[in-house]
Amino acid sequence: MSSLLLKSAFTSALLFAIAYVGSRWFRRKTGESTDQSSLLLLPFKVHARAFYRGIGLAGVLLSGGIVLGAILSLLNPPPQAAEQVLRRAMAEAATGGAFLSVVLLAPWSEEALFRGFLLPALAARWGERKALHGSALLFAALHLDLFRLPLLYLAAWLLGREALRERNLLSVTVAHSIWNGCNFILLWLSAGGGTA
């Protein structure tokens, strides 16, 4: 197992633990029942409708990403820190571990923290509109990429809006996984992946 996958698994577990503990604390503080069936303030409910909504939302995100990415390319930004890590992992033949990290672990844990705990907790305090903007800005800022901050903010805002509308994390996690997967495949292809 690659060191990237181990680090990613640890980070994902830590993010999910923060979301879980934060959700329990919030429920106790607000007097909401703590014996909910969901570990988080917003649950992962598995059903076909949420899965298909996630695919549709991924299409919206990818379309917007293409347009904003084309505009961004005119500024000639430096590579993302995550891109550099992935290129290193691919050079070390750890592509499978990198794929699992980027497409499964990161979306699951990030959605648990940002949309499963933080967004509903902020919405209870500030209202949904301010919470959407606040959690989206925090999500974008924590990716540490000033050039891509507007794109990440918009994507996080759309994911948050969907999570609040559906009261479910499955659709946004599917969309986030597809988004990361498409970016991973493009990066892999640009790095010469799949060539003999």
Whether 117 shows a pLDDT value over 80: the answer reads yes
Give pLDDT tens digits for 12-61: 999 999 999 999 999 999 887 655 667 889 989 999 999 999 999 999 99
Domain membership of residue 18 (yes or no) is no
| Whole-structure pTM value | 0.87
- The number of folded domains in the chain is 1
CB atoms within 10 A of CB 99: 19
Domain membership of residue 20 (yes or no) is no
How confident is the model at residue 145, as a pLDDT?
Answer: 82
Domain membership of residue 155 (yes or no) is yes
Domain membership of residue 6 (yes or no) is no
Give exposure, 7-29, as e/b (b: 16+ Cβ within 10 Å): ebbeebeebbeebbebbbebbee
Band of the pLDDT at 101, cuts 50, 70, 90?
confident
Whether 92 shows a pLDDT value over 70: the answer reads no
Structure tokens at 177: 């996984």
Domain membership of residue 13 (yes or no) is no
Domain membership of residue 17 (yes or no) is no
Contact 50, 168 (CB under 8 A): yes
Domain membership of residue 109 (yes or no) is yes
Domain membership of residue 118 (yes or no) is yes
Return the axis-axis angle of helices 170-190 and 81-91, rounded to nearest 10°: 60
C-alpha closest to that of 8 among 135, 97, 128: 97
